[in-house]
Structure 1
């Protein structure tokens, strides 16, 4: 088994212990129920509580501990090379609205952190999208022009502060980075002070869109609310068929201390080399923690151990660091037109709202979602509501990405059933590893621990039935179709699945 560098934990989770909240153990009634306790759910609930609404957050695990706890935590309106694409797909006005909404989120975090006295390591830094190859310079110049036309303080440069040369970069000033859990912990405390409720270890299984709406939780308790916000990262309810327009992608992260005087002074991203994202954060004793993200892949595909090693080696070579202290992985969903879905869940509803599809930019988009949804729920307006409306139809512009996504899902849904597994029996699985194997005619996901004991669950994802695959680096089962993730004993780690994988007895294989 490959020895991977660093502690397998996010620095954000490792540096701020959880502040436990109770599970829901009885029926409650509120104005708004928010399903999901990540940055989007917490920000939405906080905005609504400040507006005088009674609010409850329902989180399946711990708040600010899912995708939000495993982010890179850049807070920026510069999202890779998005503005050239937005101008083509949504027009110049669509690109301007996107830029305004994202920069508004950056400034809002700074204002709220100051108001609440949140010591969240907030730093204002420039953001860069760069290329090392001369072949990409024209694209970078075009993006700088597009971002500037969208209203951002963007410019083309070759001077980035990175310890290696680049061929060109887009530079946008006035961006930020922060410690997401420190910030959200302050929001949750203020939410509780304003009468809000937070329920952890409370998985929601069903939604009745009546008047009022009713949510049913795993233990049978119900929540009655006039409005429901589904902020579960990937929506746990399929009634809007958003799964046909969302593509999950996963990225790996490694972190390494370095002297503060050697830390680059910005937030950086390139799509070259299967993505490299770089930032630093305060680490104490005159040091900074270098955080490097990359090696993008679909859940359930690729050799994650090899990708971790490749990312760690790139980090050591480029920044001359020796010790990798942390490693973790982040997951997000990409929409087929590059714009998140934030608004009413589907055309037939008036009181169910959704926030999803952040395309790896969940910090600014999560804050933006909270402000937008709070405005819409309280009867207000927003200039960018139409841009983010989940009910939008883009027709031919969206068609190529839509059909590519569906072809990928179909390939896994059908092809993974036809493919012969690489092991013929449980005994062939090495200790400390996992594989999908057919046992008595049933495809089983089997992990053998260090002692050789087999832990088997059904290999069929409980969301829509795709066959899961083993992620060796994180020791988890992943669905390549829609990104659901399960623990070795089948428990749900990441939606859209809400039910665990069934356990299977393979002792009499």
Structure 2
């Protein structure tokens, strides 16, 4: 199976599995950066916190990210202005920029480095999109520049830079925050998979039959286990992108993202004394293709031709849900369940938004003021957008649920809602296109919302 460069060595100290039923103030499900940041803030405030992870900490979306810590999330500010207004767009920028500043204060320069972020296009017909985004920057007073030249080996038609951004080693960063949370008294348990949630109590039942009783429950898993509350299940679309890493002689001064249909994300990183270029792209709906090697081959070809790569040492893929209006869902899952909190829908920008989510949820739970609570609320999606997204995703689910039995009759069924999975040749995983669940070659769960392993013995 392909491996992430961030997980190439055993950086994380293993944590025990939960082997007893316990009572805690706050239970958090999901051992990625959003869950860890939330645990840090709440434990710092004196809450007893228990964090549960079904696999290993930071081995999911965080450990398979590009590690960009930036408020430049693609062509988003012009869109937010149009959908929600100038104040909402400014608040989104300020929250994510504050996340960068707080991260710089939390860890040292071996884990985090300041960088300039760039959006660029190689296509003349996309130049206006870059110009419009630059207009949004000027309206919001976002520090940046507009130009046509970049240090990367392409010839952009236009680019816009956002100053004062950063990039991190996501696993080392998460480990550092975890260590601080543990010092505050937080408890971390891995290989402790939640299989059932009671929302009204609340409590969480684990695969090993133990129970965690709590006053507040926070769901920071990649795809919410109880996503049917508030219709999150049909509002989230799951996309997968592909990343390769290869050695280079020196680091780039910036980090880059193209807005073209053939999109590319580019950054460099220093790992154990060596510099690496990370080249990512070729996004597709999760589980929609078996021949995933073609996505790796496309960016590998570019690495050899454009970057003179001599060897592709690492390659991996990552997936992330997105909401209909691009803003994440962070906060109380619904008015009817004030003690149930949710963080999801980061649209591949989960590094900065995880830091934002940790602050929003902890402030909301503690009764503190935070302007982001309303902006990121899971209730923010307008009905029209939600309904259209529900039709798209719900309709596709029906196609895969029914059609999969015809075209993939011998493939195992996803243990979430019974869709037929598809074998991912490049990553050697069973992927479900209905809601993004992923399973290892042996059938064990890699990513939810599924919580039970595949039955590989059954073929129908």
TM-score (norm 1): 0.87
Alignment of 1:277-356 (within 5 A): 277-283=265-271, 285=273, 287-302=274-289, 303-356=291-344
Alignment partner of 2:410 out of 438, 444, 466: 444
Are 1:133 and 2:99 matched, yes or no?
A: no
1:198 maps to which residue?
188
Task: Measure how far apart 1:8 and its partner are.
Answer: 2.2
2:425 maps to which residue?
472
Q: Structure 1 residues 237 and 371, CA, compared in 2 at 3 Å: closer, same or farther?
A: same
1:228 maps to which residue?
217
- Which deviates more from structure 2 when the two are superposed, residues 142-151 or residues 488-497? 142-151
1:448 maps to which residue?
none
Distance 2:389 2:136 in 1: 22
2:237 maps to which residue?
247
Are 1:65 and 2:59 matched, yes or no?
A: yes
Contact 1:89 1:397 in 2 (8 A): no
Q: Structure 1 residues 97 and 388, CA, compared in 2 at 3 Å: closer, same or farther?
A: same
Q: Structure 1 residues 397 and 93, CA, compared in 2 at 3 Å: closer, same or farther?
A: farther
Task: Measure how far apart 1:308 and its partner are.
Answer: 0.7
Task: Measure how far apart 1:298 and its partner are.
Answer: 1.4
Contact 2:220 2:343 in 1 (8 A): yes
1:106 maps to which residue?
100
Task: Measure how far apart 1:407 and its partner are.
Answer: 2.9
Distance 2:11 2:236 in 1: 32
Q: Structure 1 residues 326 and 461, CA, compared in 2 at 3 Å: closer, same or farther?
A: same
Task: Measure how far apart 1:119 and its partner are.
Answer: 5.6
- Which deviates more from structure 2 when the two are superposed, residues 75-84 or residues 300-309? 300-309
Q: Which runs of 5+ in 2 are unaligned?
A: none
2:347 maps to which residue?
359
CA displacement 1:25-71 (0-9 Å, x = unmatched): 01111111110110000000001011111101101011111111111
Name which one, 1 or 2, has greater alpha-carbon Rg.
1
Q: Which runs of 5+ in 1 are unaligned?
A: 1-6, 422-435, 437-442, 446-458
Task: Measure how far apart 1:162 and its partner are.
Answer: 1.4
Contact 2:324 2:385 in 1 (8 A): no
State the secondary structure of the residue aligned to 1:500: coil
Q: Structure 1 residues 356 and 172, CA, compared in 2 at 3 Å: closer, same or farther?
A: same
State the secondary structure of the residue aligned to 1:66: coil
Contact 1:16 1:181 in 2 (8 A): no
Distance 1:135 1:78 in 2: 21
Q: CA RMSD in A?
A: 1.7
Task: Measure how far apart 1:97 and its partner are.
Answer: 1.3
State the secondary structure of the residue aligned to 1:8: coil
State the secondary structure of the residue aligned to 1:366: helix
Q: Structure 1 residues 215 and 234, CA, compared in 2 at 3 Å: closer, same or farther?
A: same
1:156 maps to which residue?
146
Q: Count residues with an aligned counterpart.
A: 458
Alignment of 1:48-63 (within 5 A): 48-63=42-57
Contact 1:41 1:370 in 2 (8 A): yes
Task: Measure how far apart 1:283 and its partner are.
Answer: 3.5
State the secondary structure of the residue aligned to 1:350: strand
TM-score (norm 2): 0.96
Distance 2:2 2:279 in 1: 15
Task: Measure how far apart 1:338 and its partner are.
Answer: 0.5
1:497 maps to which residue?
450
State the secondary structure of the residue aligned to 2:450: coil
Task: Measure how far apart 1:346 and its partner are.
Answer: 2.0
CA displacement 1:1-34 (0-9 Å, x = unmatched): xxxxxx8211111145331111000111111111
Contact 1:257 1:283 in 2 (8 A): no
Alignment partner of 2:363 out of 375, 395, 412: 375
